[in-house]
Structure formats: C-alpha cells, structure tokens
Amino acid sequence: MILQLMVNALVVPLLLMGVIRKAKALMQTRRGAPVWQPFYDIARLLKKGETISEKAGWVFVWAPRIGLVVALAAAILAPWSGAPLPPFGGATNYLLVLYLMALARFVAMLAAMDTGSAFGGLGASRDATISLLVEPVMVIGLGALALAAGSTDLSVIYSAPVNPVVAALVGVTLLIAALAELSRMPVDDPTTHLELTMVHEAMILENSGRNLALTEYAAALRTCVLLGLAAQTLLRAAPGFPLLSGGARYAVGLAALFAVGGLVAVAEGVLVRLKWRGIPSFLAYSAGLSLLAALLAVLKG
C-alpha cells in the first residue's frame, strides 16, 4: 500500500500530463515530446535559478509550497486510482477533499495577485469566477453518490453498491467540472499565447525556477485527483467493476484514468474555446446533470 501511494504521488501525475500532451500532439499530427518529458521539465526547473518580482512578498514564495502540500493531502485522501484508501477514519470525507482542492486554488490566486502583475490579477479573477460556478456542481454531484451510499466518507461511497444511472450521470458531471476546474479546453486553452484570454497560465506567468516546478507539480496532482474521481465514478456504472479488488482494481483504475486523460486530449484537439460569457451555460448543463443524479438518488432512498 505504501508502494502504491508512492507511485500515485510521484509517478502517475507527471506521467498523466505527459500522456495528455502526447495524445494532443498525435491529434494534431505532430510527433510530440516523449511521455516522460514532464519529469525532465520538473528536474530542469528545479536546477534553474529563480526570478522574483521586487513587488512580490512572502506569499508568492510560500504559496506554491502550501499548494503542493494541500494537493498531496487531497491526492492521498481521495480514491482516484482504485487503490485502497489509507485508514484515516473520517478524514477521507468528500467535502474535505473538495475544499482542500479549493484551498489549493485560493493560495494560487493569492500568489498571482501578490506579484502585482496585471495579468496575474486578471487570471485570478477569472479563476475565482469559474471556481464559484464549479463548486456547487462538484458538491451536489458527489453528494448524490453520498446520498446513494448513505455516508459522506469517500471509502464508503466508492465501495457501496450504486445505481449505474446515478454513477454515469455523476461521472459525466465530474468530468465537465474537472475540465473547468483544471482550466482545460472548452473553458480555457492551456496552450494559448495571448495573455488576455489565459486563465491558469496568466496566474503562473511570474513564476520561474523552483517556484514554477512546485506549481506545475501541484497542478499535475490536482489533474490526477479530479480526472481520477471522474474515471472511478464512470467505472462504477460499468457492470463487473465493483467485483474487482486489489491489484486488478488498481490496474483497471489507472487504465481508466489514462483513458480519460486521452479523452481530454481529444477534446482539446476537436473543440474550440467557449466565449467567456458562454461558460456559465456550459457549466449549467453539468449542474443540471448533477441535480438529476441527486433526484434519482433521493427517489431510490
């Protein structure tokens, strides 16, 4: 179990980023960087020197470290890979995990505003708007599963039997919410070069060296947790999956995680970015699905 935790925390997140980038390159008929390129990137950034704006204070230096610790805690507490959760009693509560993710976003926004750069403030304000829209969706979506399982403990939620329709609805909801939360394609273009349209990139424009390495690593961890939760929820709609246990469950879980990553890359290949004012209606669909799932969960009793 310790080994699984180490692999989950150190290898899978960066590998997932590499796979998403590779799949995206293939979608654009480029050869793309090898899948382990993010490991090299992080190692290179860790060796490089750092440039810090003279306007920046201690928040800018500490925010990436706090963000990384919070993201690691969320990655340990959430059942995103199919590995059994550590026995931390009530700490594996779904609200705790969701609000740890929100805390990571909050410190990232503080750091973006701290540098005094105009783009940082712009990105932070957009990020705050999107997270405001995503938060109810995720709380209601996972809440529907919690209602069906009769507990807010994630280890119970992801082992209790559940109506496959509810699981499928919540899985799609979480996937859409994850796209918005992670600043992915229909909501934000992660490879844009125009600062005025950036969300996540505008926030980390001032980071460099070790600071940037920590930020990127925390972002990879958050991607893993959110896409992994969506993949695990979708898997529960598949017949036969709840019967698996141990290594087979872990292997299927990781395969599903990378498949969802590939799906995100395909979406980035074929979709165009939404207009900023179109994002609320896009997320309203996901809110609608989560409410529907909650209704079904309530009716089933």
Partner 1 sequence: MHLSTQEYIAGTAAVLAVWMCGLTQVRLALRGLAAQTALLAVATAALGLERHAPYELLLAAVVLVVKAGAIPAYLAWAAGRLDIRRDAGALLSPTLSMLAGLGLLATGFFLAPRFATPASGHAGMAGMALALVFSGMLLMLTRRLALSQLIGFLVMENGIFLYSLTQTAGMPMIVEMGVVFDVLVGVLVAGLVIFRLNRSFEHIDVTQLRGLRN
Q: Which residues bind partner 1 (CB under 8 A)?
A: 165, 280-281, 284-285, 287-288, 291-292, 295, 299-301
Whose Cβ is closer to partner 1: residue 107's or residue 138's?
138
Whose Cβ is closer to partner 1: residue 162's or residue 265's?
162
To the nearest whole angstrom, how small is the minimum distance from the Cβ of residue 281 to partner 1?
Answer: 4
Whose Cβ is closer to partner 1: residue 51's or residue 281's?
281
To the nearest whole angstrom, how small is the minimum distance from the Cβ of residue 274 to partner 1?
Answer: 13
To the nearest whole angstrom, how small is the minimum distance from the Cβ of residue 287 to partner 1?
Answer: 7
Whose Cβ is closer to partner 1: residue 135's or residue 195's?
135
278 contact partners, CB below 8 Å, separation of at least 6: none
| C-alpha–C-alpha distance, residues 241 and 61, integer Å | 44
Whose Cβ is closer to partner 1: residue 90's or residue 301's?
301
Whose Cβ is closer to partner 1: residue 193's or residue 277's?
277
Strands (E), 71-202: none
199 contact partners, CB below 8 Å, separation of at least 6: 123, 126, 127, 130, 183, 187, 188
Nearest to 53 by CA among 105, 95, 114, 99: 114
To the nearest whole angstrom, how small is the minimum distance from the Cβ of residue 298 to partner 1?
Answer: 8
Nearest to 182 by CA among 76, 260, 288, 234: 260
- How many Cα atoms are found within 13 Å in the side-chain-facing hemisphere of 111? 28
To the nearest whole angstrom, how small is the minimum distance from the Cβ of residue 172 to partner 1?
Answer: 13
Nearest to 171 by CA among 95, 238, 246, 262: 238
To the nearest whole angstrom, how small is the minimum distance from the Cβ of residue 299 to partner 1?
Answer: 5
Torsion of CA 194, 196, 200, 205, to 10 degrees: 70
